[in-house]
Amino acid sequence: MTPFADDPIATWGLRAVEVIRDRPSRWTGRGVRVAMLDTGVDRAHPDLAARVVAARSFVPGCPVDDEIGHGTHCAGTAIGFKTSAGRRYGIAYGADLYVARILDRTARAEIATVIAGIDWALSHDCHVIALPIGIIDAVPSPEFDAAGRRALDADCLMIAAAGPYWTTSVSRPADADGIMAVGAVDQWLNPMACPPPAAEVGTRGQVDIVAPGARIYSAAPGAKYSTQNGTSMATAHVAGVAALWSEAESLRGRALWRRLIGSAQRLRWSADDAGYGLVTAPTEQGVGSRD
């Protein structure tokens, strides 16, 4: 196949997940609350400032404003819009953004801190919680299983990065049964190269869905932009598309999960590693139908 590529109109990821086909999707995520749990967000970034409704840091001594760039980048893909030059890179630009900082300055997180961020997002009745993080730890974490169930019972869908070893072992919290695990594909829609794990890093060995994660262009602190790679970037794509489906069909929680996997594009290697396939945005023909 011909690889997807960024062009003057949009990034390749938005075209791959069909946010932009012949014309842009008419859904924007309006009325949907998306929580980004990461390194915080640059709340002054011109593409994000108007979207931030609430923000809080759960890391002692660390501000909610992003010092690393990871959270800003993921938020840009999920709910940003376009650069001043006109290239669109964000998906659900009408959604409301809730920001919880759960990673410290070394991009590490404690389980208790992540759970606190999740509960904060649920207290704000968020519909989608993005967790573009991965905790590599062989010790089971029942806290994440409970949090996933708690979120679904509250009609909220949690979406998490499957981590660098995702084709063989899914990291936490994505390995929890109630949290959607996301793998990453490149511009050819092939799985991104994953190094072999040094040890078991998760309890579930297969992702639920995949999304663009290679050479993803998005927002960066200081009104700038950067290109990053990984399942975190893929998670941001899925969170943005989830907001579009949530708006288009008034879906929440478990129903939204079923819609995402039911509308995914099957890939030739899906049965092995890609779960249900590539996440796909709602279209005029697809909304209201059931696969």
Active site positions, annotated: 38, 70, 232
C-alpha distances out from residue 205 to 21, 162, 222, Å? 33, 9, 38
C-alpha distances out from residue 275 to 158, 181, 241, 248, Å? 17, 9, 17, 24
Instruction: Give the number of residues written for the chain.
Output: 291
Q: Which residues lie closer than 8 Å to 83 by C-beta, 6 or more apart? A: 47, 89, 225
Q: How far apart are CA 94 and CA 50, in angstroms?
A: 10
Nearest CA among 92, 120, 143 for reference residue 256: 92
Token pair of 155 as six digits: 């009609």
The answer to whether residues 174 and 206 touch, using CB atoms and an 8 Å cutoff, is no
Residue 273 is given by DSSP the state I
Q: Which residues lie closer than 8 Å to 102 by C-beta, 6 or more apart? A: 37, 38, 58, 59, 109, 113, 114, 116, 117, 133
Token pair of 88 as six digits: 């669109």
Alpha helices in 63-212 (DSSP H): 70-79, 111-123, 142-153
